[in-house]
Amino acid sequence: MIQHLLRISHVSKHFGGNVAVHDVSFAVDEKQIVGLIGPNGAGKTTLFNCMTGFFPVTSGEVIFDIKKINDLRPDEVCRLGMARTWQRVKPLGSLSVLENVMVGAFSVTNKTRQAEEIAMEQLKRMGLTDYASKSAGSLPIGLKKKLELARVLATHPKLLLLDEICGGLNHTETETILDIIRSIRQRGATIVFIEHDMKAVTSICDRIVVLNSGEKLAEGSPEEITNNPDVIAAYLGGGHHA
Amino acid sequence: MKQITLLTILAAAAIALPLVIGENPYITGILISVLMMAALSSAWNILGGYAGQYSFGHAAYFGAGAYTTLILLTNYPTLNPLICMAVGIIAASIIALITGAIVFRLRGHYFGLASIAVAEIVRLSVLNFDFTGGAQGILLSDVSLWGLDLNSKNPFYYAMLLVLAVTLGITAYLRTSKTGYYLQAIREDQDAASSLGINLSFYKNKSLLLSAALTSVLGSLYGLYIRFIDTSAVLDLRLSIEIILTAIIGGVGTLWGPVVGALLLVPLAEMLRSNLLGDALVKAGLVSETSALGIFLKENLAHAHVLVYGIITVLCILYLPKGILGLFRRTK
Ligand SMILES: Nc1ncnc2c1ncn2[C@@H]1O[C@H](COP(=O)(O)OP(=O)(O)O)[C@@H](O)[C@H]1O
Ligand SMILES: [Mg+2]
């Protein structure tokens, strides 16, 4: 059997009677960028929460690096090397931008000096150096999204889960973030990428998984997905979200 | 560099102060109270201010130190007080570990509520056990250490000063260490913190233990100093509240906030207690001694310091949400 970096196996998540995710399976190989798309409420964020230990799964398994991780705590998942960003950004408001990223860096070092170096490096990559001493809570949304990305990258994840990292951004901001993601990928990162912007997804992903009402509707290359009649009918044609 | 100079001057002044004052037990007593409240509030601040976990039950740890020390010394008068202090730390740590194990698994404001509950359980237990002296409390007739004259207040002044310095030193170190950053991250956003690899319950327990241990040392010192304790002196909810208010008024989550708060509040409470404020109002001619208001003040002001704390706190929360120190902070 092929060794996947991440395997989602028949995962379901119910909230009482509400089935948010139903029997979803897919795998992610090393150095792939996999897009996870679907209309609002399709269960994408819920799936991330199940993968990272924030929600217990109702049934199914999440396997990361041959280890079953769906019983682990979020911090354990992060330290194993799978880290996520938040659709609704969660800056540590009263800490500075630099300190926010240092908190991420502390998962790979115990030394403050070293954490600061790692953090400065990420800020530089993100173009946030000028904001290093600003309080994170005071940033506009575009920069908060970048901060979110810088902070999670400072944990040096093997697998990066991005939840609508371009959501609410204008065209140029989206382009800068996509450029950053492309450069991360060139260094061999593996990414699962939730995104509404279909153009962004098709331009950057190797494979796409489509969720609809909690179920997996389709999976394939960007080309296959954009030409899949089911996807077009149920999703691309019907909604405005892509 | 400027900071180090300032700090040295401050330390030198604090060390020289009793020599300048000379033998004045009343003033020295107030100074000891200031140092103790500053240290208690700083210890609370590690948990409440940095980790954002508001404890309303720190009296339990203070009482654990005071009671352990005095119970041991009344039973074994030759025991070294420092050993009693160490046993006090163990007692406080056990209470802290039990509290933490139960409530830190839960999200939300459970910790605040549970800390009150635990402190009340400790207080009521102490009140009802025999070996704790029950409602009568414990009286320690004599105590000695290294031939120091412990009937003088000066050794206690320096002991409190030392514990305050240690507490501030630990806080200053924490602020620049991984643990300190992690505690602040937990305060700001627990989901973000855990998604970045922070074991929430481990770090909350760590700061609770540290805070409880320091508080217990202060309780032991207080017991040795005052030599008579009962539950209303060392285990009362009122004490827990005063510790918090001192931090809030000075500036929660800042290094010097608790010190500023204590410098302001303890003398104020003392003035109210000894009716200095009422007398001053009369002397200034603002209130006549024989008027209804004058008599009312004379009779009630002495008991009003908790009320005055409360009023100051409300004003602080409304107008100085970051405490007095927040006024002087550069806004970023
Ligand atoms: N904590 C929760 N409690 C109850 N229902 C939830 C919770 N989180 C998500 N849901 C439900 O799960 C479904 C999927 O939501 P979500 O995963 O946020 O969708 P998406 O991210 O694809 O927009 C929605 O019906 C939502 O109401
Ligand atoms: Mg979502």
Partner B, chain A 78-137, Cβ-Cβ below 8 Å: 78-79, 83-84, 86, 90-96, 99, 102-104, 106-107, 110-112, 115, 133-135
Beta strand pairing status for A159-163 and A190-194? parallel
Higher pLDDT, A33 or B151: A33
Collapse the DSSP code of A11 into the 3-class scheme (helix H, G, I; strand E, B; otherwise coil) and give the result.
strand
Confidence of residue B85 (pLDDT cuts 50, 70, 90): very high
Q: Is B167 exposed, middle or buried (0-12, 13-18, 19+ CB in 10 A)?
A: buried
Confidence of residue B312 (pLDDT cuts 50, 70, 90): confident
A9-18, A163-172, B39-48, B172-181: which has the minimum mean pLDDT? A163-172
Q: Tell me the ipTM for this assembly.
A: 0.93
Contact across the interface for B178 and A99, Cβ inside 8 Å: no
Cβ(B194)–Cβ(A73) below 8 Å: yes
Determine the topology of domain B2-328 in CATH. Answer: ABC transporter involved in vitamin B12 uptake, BtuC (1.10.3470)
Q: Which of B273, B249, B252, B275 is nearest to B262 (CA)?
A: B249
Confidence of residue A2 (pLDDT cuts 50, 70, 90): low
pTM: 0.90
Cβ(B186)–Cβ(B198) below 8 Å: yes
Q: How far is the CA of A41 from the centre of ligand 2 (A)?
A: 7
CA distance B25 to B319: 37
- Chain A interface test: which of B181, B195, B204 (most A C-beta within 10 Å): B195
Instruction: Tell whether the model's pLDDT for residue B152 goes beyond 80.
Output: no
Higher pLDDT, B275 or A154: A154
Cβ(A208)–Cβ(A223) below 8 Å: no
CA distance B332 to B42: 24
Per-domain boundaries in chain B? 2-328
Residues of B with CB under 8 A from a CB of A: 176-178, 181-182, 184-185, 188-189, 191-200, 332
Show the domains of chain A with their CATH numbers: 1-81+158-242 (3.40.50.300), 92-156 (no CATH)
CB atoms within 10 A of CB A28: 23
Chain A contacts of B176, Cβ < 8 Å? 112
**Out of A75, A86, A102, closest to residue B197 by CB:** A75
DSSP per position, A191-217: EEEE-S-HHHHHHH-SEEEEEETTEEE
The verdict on the CB of residue A49 being under 6 Å from ligand 1 is: no
Q: Give φ, ψ of A14 to 5 degrees.
A: -110, 140
Sole residue written with tokens 């798309």: A37
Instruction: Tell whether the model's pLDDT for residue B254 goes beyond 70.
Output: yes
Instruction: Tell whether the model's pLDDT for residue A7 goes beyond 90.
Output: yes
What lies within 8 Å, CB to CB, of B245 at 6+ separation is B261, B265, B309, B310, B312, B313
Instruction: Tell whether the model's pLDDT for residue B229 goes beyond 80.
Output: yes
- Summarize pLDDT for A85-136 with one digit per residue, the tens: 999 999 999 999 999 999 999 999 999 999 999 999 999 999 999 999 999 9
Cβ(B125)–Cβ(B60) below 8 Å: no
- Give the pLDDT score at B219: 96
User: Average pLDDT of B228-252?
Assistant: 89
- Summarize pLDDT for B278-292 with one digit per residue, the tens: 677 777 777 777 777
Structural element, H or E, at residue B174: helix B154-175
Cβ(A4)–Cβ(A27) below 8 Å: yes
Contact across the interface for B195 and A135, Cβ inside 8 Å: no
Beta strand pairing status for A159-163 and A82-84? parallel
Q: What is the mean pLDDT of chain B?
A: 86
Confidence of residue B313 (pLDDT cuts 50, 70, 90): confident
Contact across the interface for B191 and A54, Cβ inside 8 Å: yes
